[in-house]
């Protein structure tokens, strides 16, 4: 899924979250954030002629949604953060990511049986021995389902 697809997906989660908020046990939490970070060695260069250090300013936008509920026949917990970042001098390309988890469980009327669906989205390093830069990160999605 591309960056814009992940943002649309998160907007869908927000819409579902707004619908679930009517019944939520806890008040839903929605946060928006904006940040600027100046880095005098954004590309993690060594400073040598073939690997110069580059300074740049990163702009970051965040949207966080968290909601939980527990009813007689089902329970749910969603906690996702969508981030879009771009560098002023284009040291790295614009990047969007979604991190967090979601879980939905169904229970039988007598409570003896339950079935769980879950999703976890994370950013991970591609090469663990390399510098932590946007070019060395990838989005991982893990889905699971089964009896609880």
- pLDDT tens readout for residues 87-111: 888 888 888 888 999 999 999 988 8
Q: For residues 122 and 99, is the Cβ–Cβ distance under 8 A?
A: yes
Who has greater pLDDT, 76 or 20?
76
Place of tokens 């990838």: 138
Token pair of 34 as six digits:
């904006």
Q: Left, alpha or beta for 100 (phi > 0: left; psi -120 to 50: alpha)?
A: left
- For residue 131, the model assigns a pLDDT of 82
Give the pTM: 0.72
Question: In angstroms, how far is the first alpha carbon of the chain from the final one?
Answer: 29
Place of tokens 């928006």: 32
Percent of the chain with pLDDT over 90: 35
d(CA 94, CA 85): 6
pLDDT digits (tens, 9 = 90+) for 4-18: 565 565 566 556 655
pLDDT above 70 (res 19): no
- For residue 116, the model assigns a pLDDT of 95
Token pair of 51 as six digits:
């690997």
d(CA 136, CA 95): 12
Angle at 93 between CA 65 and CA 87, to 5 degrees: 80
Who has greater pLDDT, 135 or 144?
144
Instruction: Give 54-106 as a DSSP string.
Output: --EEEEEEEEEEEEEEE-SSEEEEEEEEEEEEEETT-SS--EEEEEEEEEEEE
């Amino acid at each position: 899924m591309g960056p814009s697809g992940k943002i649309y997906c998160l907007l869908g989660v927000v819409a579902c979250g707004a619908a679930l908020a009517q019944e939520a046990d806890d008040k839903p939490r929605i946060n928006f954030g904006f940040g600027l970070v100046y880095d005098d060695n954004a590309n993690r260069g060594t400073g040598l002629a073939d690997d110069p250090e580059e300074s740049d300013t990163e702009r970051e936008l965040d949207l966080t949604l968290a909601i939980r509920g527990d009813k007689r026949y089902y329970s749910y917990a969603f906690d996702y953060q969508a981030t879009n970042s771009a560098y002023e001098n284009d040291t790295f390309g614009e990047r969007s990511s979604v991190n967090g988890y979601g879980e939905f469980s169904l229970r039988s009327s007598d409570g003896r049986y339950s079935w769980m669906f879950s999703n976890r989205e994370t950013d991970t390093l591609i090469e663990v021995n390399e510098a932590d830069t946007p070019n060395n990160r990838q989005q991982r999605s893990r889905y699971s389902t089964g009896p609880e």
